[in-house]
Amino acid sequence: MDGTNSLRNGPDENGRFGHYGGRFVAETLMPLILDLEKEYRAARIDPAYQAELKDLAIHYTGRPSPLYYAERLTQHLGGAKVWFKREELNHTGSHKINNCLGQILLAKRMGKTRIIAETGAGQHGVATATVCAKFDLPCTIFMGATDVERQMPNVLRMKMLGAEVRPVTAGAGTLKDAMNEALRDWVTNVDSTYYLIGTAAGPHPYPEMVRDFQSVIGTELKEQFREREGKLPDAVVACVGGGSNAIGTFHAFLDDPEVAIYGAEAGGHGIDIENGHAASMTGGRPGVLHGNRTYLLQDADGQILEGHSISAGLDYPGVGPEHSYLHDTKRVTYVPITDDEALEAFQLCTKMEGIIPALESAHGLAQVIKLAPTMSSDQSVVLCLSGRGDKDVESVGKYLGLLK
Amino acid sequence: MTTRIDRVFAAAKADNRALLAAYIMGGDPDLATGQAIMNALPQAGADIIELGLPFSDPMADGVAIQMGGQRALKAGQTLRGVLGMVEEFRRKDETTPIVLMGYYNPIYIFGVDKFLATARDAGVDGLIIVDLPAEEDAELCIPALKSGLNFIRLTTPTTDDARLPTVLENTSGFVYYVSMNGTTGAVIKSRAAVGESVQRIKAHTELPVVVGFGIKTADDAAEMGRHADGIAVGTVIVDAVAKSLVDGKATDRTVGAVRDLVADLAAGLKRARA
């Protein structure tokens, strides 16, 4: 059991991680999230629910995902051993499926007949469309119009899986706007609809629930690393947009102070450029949006900024509330990674390991590239390779001038 | 101590009519025209002014009010600017209640204590903050009540009898019943159900009940005015502003368009119980 001083005890009964989190939603949604919390608590201790989820994790997702020693990259960087937790090998190509399976079983339990979700890079949209196909539920995916354009392969996948993809033109047409529109849909279709949030953000209990479903990443990683090296890794790294793969990776290590933890935020064009990045913790301040108090990109009047990242999945002006808490308590070090650094990491990984990472995960890798050379060769750093980069080859090709 | 809000409900009751709460977005389509619209509302027949606080991410609003907020923000509106509108309005009108309606983040960033003091001094009477449910009362509701402002809560079709006491506990001024599950400006599916819901709420509270969301015409106003102590109208007013614009700019018809619409709605209410 975790002790009283554990960093793993959050959230409290009001959905707070320290000062962050909460339930900042319209009254229409309040009974729904209270109901969801009740159902989630019941499901969590229901052996049948847990058994079904576990079976799906093994036979549908392909868990456990491998822990891979990136030998060439290690030699190239000349420091700590570099490891990848290969979430990109999961069915649908990212960690997102872990959460979608957990929530779709919950939606079924609750008798919901329609699923909605928001998506940025389309990874969560694809994972949602996938589980909806499998469980025969109609689904509508809200996706910013800008993202629809830059992540076309995922849009096609969602459509083929039977989802309706609704492009959102409000604002900059990115993840924030997609989430607004999903919330508007939910408030309109409360009786039938389950909102399958893809990141560890939003009103309580979503941040806790999504974290719990993603915590399999860190739990497996810890066990796998112990088997391989007989100890704990010295550092773990993950990219942070809303932060679901990151909290899933970090959570198992929060009470192991000897493990350094790094979250890579989207530094875009650089965090000194207003609206030129999506680094909410290193470049924003606390506010309230989308149901929770958390670090946000905003102007002096409290209007939310759009932010920018080359990676659609990180292009969000907020972050999950537990990350805000871990930032303030300094347990996790959050660092901004620029578009250019992520692009370089993307190429290095592709050429040296034969693994094309998602641009999101490439942000984490860029931090590993900075970190590993500062560590000794008997130390290890593990990256959560959260997604594969097939969806990004076209947009990266454009940046690199491979497409005219 | 009677408040401006108490007084207008008492007056409407004495007239045997439901009152009209008219919503405008503060500073839409520009700051000067927004002020002129606000100043014209009481004479047109608005008993209460709901003054919208523009927000970049209005999650409970339909397209019309989203656009109104964007026009106001583009025109340079801020939370401080909206409070300035109230100060200006109060130079000539000491009786019409003003309720600010919006989202929490700009207030949180302004600073809750500073906001409440400034709002009270400006002549604000109440607050409707969409994303602050009863569970978050410690944030703004309790401090607002302590500073003498009404905190008006939304109740919705999803607020059942078991939950109503929680929602009503710290509500003051009046109760705002959201007529349907949806965003502002959507369509009311069953008017009869709205009437029943108002009665259900009244069984739990002495406070007046105002119905809002989806009231678009004088006939709607007349119908809803039979059931409730007041009606709130917003989307069609913000739409009237939008339709009066040319190339996104106010015209000499803008203020008049709102005035005529509000007068029409007020006339509908007078018919309600005639």
Under a CB-based contact definition with an 8 Å cutoff, are residues A23 and A71 in contact?
no
| Residue among A176, A191, A288 minimizing CB distance to B131 | A288
Is ipTM beyond 0.85? yes
pLDDT of amino acid A4: 67
Is A27 an 8 Å CB contact of chain B? yes
Q: From B107, which residue of chain A is nearest by alpha-carbon distance?
A: A302
Which of B135, B152, B184, B187 best probes binding to A when mutated, by most A CB atoms within 10 angstroms? B135
| A59 secondary structure, DSSP code | I
Q: For A79-118, how does the pLDDT look when each residue is reduced to its tens digit (9 = 90+)?
A: 999 999 999 999 999 999 999 999 999 999 999 999 999 9
Determine whether the interchain pair B110/A302 forms a contact, defined as Cβ–Cβ distance below 8 Å. Answer: yes
| Residue among B57, B79, B133 minimizing CB distance to A27 | B133
Q: Name which of B224, B176, B151, B184 is nearest B25 in CA terms.
A: B184
Q: How close is the nearest chain A Cα to the Cα of B207, in Å?
A: 18
pLDDT of amino acid A151: 87
Q: Name which of B29, B51, B57 is nearest B39 in CA terms.
A: B51
Q: Which of A2-6, A235-239, B112-116, B166-170 has the lowest mean pLDDT?
A: A2-6
Separation between Cα atoms, residue A387 and residue A124, nearest integer Å: 11
Determine whether the interchain pair A28/B133 forms a contact, defined as Cβ–Cβ distance below 8 Å. Answer: no
More confident residue, A103 or A1: A103
Determine whether the interchain pair B59/A287 forms a contact, defined as Cβ–Cβ distance below 8 Å. Answer: no
- Read off the tokens for A59: 């036979």
Residues in CB range of A51: below 8 A, 6 or more apart = none
pLDDT of amino acid A3: 61
Is the pLDDT confidence value at A49 over 80? yes
Determine whether the interchain pair B133/A287 forms a contact, defined as Cβ–Cβ distance below 8 Å. Answer: no
pLDDT of amino acid B1: 63
- Domains, chain B, with CATH or none: 4-272 (3.20.20.70)
Separation between Cα atoms, residue B86 and residue A191, nearest integer Å: 39
| Residue among A24, A31, A301 minimizing CB distance to B163 | A31
Alpha helix (H) ranges present in B181-217? 191-202
- Cis-peptide into A64, omega within 30 deg: yes
- Domains, chain A, with CATH or none: 26-58+95-208 (3.40.50.1100), 60-93+211-399 (3.40.50.1100)
- Sites in chain B below the pLDDT cut of 70: 1, 274
